[in-house]
């Protein structure tokens, strides 16, 4: 049974591809390589290079590969940059999702797992985010992901009486880190782990943005979740759809307790063997003290769990980055 993975040449998407193959499902990758890496696609996996905005290409791919469902990971994922590039963000994340849903309807494909984001919550005023916590996205990126969830919801209503009613779920998560394959690493220039890795490889000192937050050690607290665990949750959602089991419209893939930036820096020094004291810079505007989500609902339905310690997350990411040269 084939499943299309949009963005399957990316850091997260290529892990989903591997997890699908290991589960016995057949992945098909669609990626325009704007941020993906062709070598991240495993040998033997069907790879279609192109844009999710290409309606004819998406439908043709669905039909030619007899796709049973879509895991939609492709998108413009840089929240900060989205403030400067809102039109690009909406084109990729909103129009792209609309095109995929339109092509799915034309091809008779009814299942979709949407890679959403905890950015839909913005800056929550609760210590632990649950699925129905108020949505107040603080960037065009977060807004685009929330609109994507609305598109899925509305299309499900519109197709409810058809031969192929849409079955969907959205998976929300924050900081995806580590590696489950030594040949795949996070290539983003905006994420904490690769920023620190690049600093250490260059012999420079990583920096903490503010140490006077209302947290135990003064630095921001966030969810950090291993990319391999994220991939397994996507596959579990697909398997649930295949089995015809009920599925929630959204799940938070959260740690339940979070880690501070200082804890991440301490783990970086421990694991890499590079002793450093991070510089402390000013706060970034609008950066909340703490954003942590519970993963209880996903644990119930998707076998979601934190399978890796912080040191294991750092070690796997560090080794994959060093393997890249």
54-79 b/e with 16+ CB inside 10 Å = b? beebbbebbeebebbbbbbbbbbbbb
Half-sphere exposure of 212 (CA within 13 A, CB side): 5
- Report the 10 Å Cβ neighbour count for 215: 16
Q: Say how far apart CA 110 and CA 163 lie, in whole Å.
A: 9
The count of other CB atoms within 10 Å of the CB of residue 190 is 12
**Catalytic residue flag (residue 141):** yes
Catalytic residue among 11, 90, 141, 251: 141
CA-angle at 208, arms to 218 and 184, nearest 5° = 120
Structure tokens that stand for 176 in this block: 């995806």
With beta carbons less than 8 A apart as the criterion, state whether 75 and 170 touch: no
Residues that are catalytic: 141
């Amino acid at each position: 049974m084939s499943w299309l993975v949009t963005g399957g040449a990316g850091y997260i998407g290529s892990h989903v591809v591997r997890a699908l193959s290991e589960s016995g499902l057949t992945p098909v990758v669609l990626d325009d390589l704007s941020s993906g890496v062709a070598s991240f696609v495993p040998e033997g996996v069907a790879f279609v290079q192109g844009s999710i905005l290409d309606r004819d290409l998406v439908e043709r791919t669905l039909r030619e590969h007899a796709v049973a469902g879509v895991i939609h990971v492709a998108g413009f994922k840089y929240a900060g940059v989205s403030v400067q590039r809102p039109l690009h963000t909406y084109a990729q994340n909103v129009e792209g999702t609309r095109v995929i849903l339109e092509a799915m309807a034309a091809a008779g494909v009814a299942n979709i797992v949407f890679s959403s984001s905890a950015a839909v919550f913005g800056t929550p005023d609760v210590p632990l985010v649950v699925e129905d916590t108020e949505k107040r996205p603080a960037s065009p990126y977060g807004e685009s992901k929330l609109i994507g969830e609305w598109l899925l919801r509305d299309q499900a209503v519109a197709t409810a009486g058809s031969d192929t009613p849409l079955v969907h779920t959205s998976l929300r998560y924050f900081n995806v880190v580590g590696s489950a394959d030594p040949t795949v690493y996070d290539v983003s220039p905006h994420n904490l782990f690769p920023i620190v890795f690049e600093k250490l490889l260059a012999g420079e000192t990583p920096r903490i943005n503010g140490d006077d937050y209302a947290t135990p050690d003064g630095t921001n607290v966030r969810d950090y979740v291993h990319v391999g665990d994220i991939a397994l949750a996507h596959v579990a959602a697909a398997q649930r759809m295949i089995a015809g089991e009920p599925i929630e419209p959204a799940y938070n893939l959260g740690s339940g307790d979070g880690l501070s930036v200082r804890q991440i820096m301490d783990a970086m020094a421990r694991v890499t063997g590079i002793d450093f004291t991070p510089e402390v810079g000013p706060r970034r505007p609008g950066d909340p003290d703490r954003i942590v989500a519970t993963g209880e609902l996903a644990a119930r339905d998707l076998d979601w769990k934190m399978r890796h310690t912080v040191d294991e997350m750092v070690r796997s990411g560090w080794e994959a980055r060093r393997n890249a040269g």
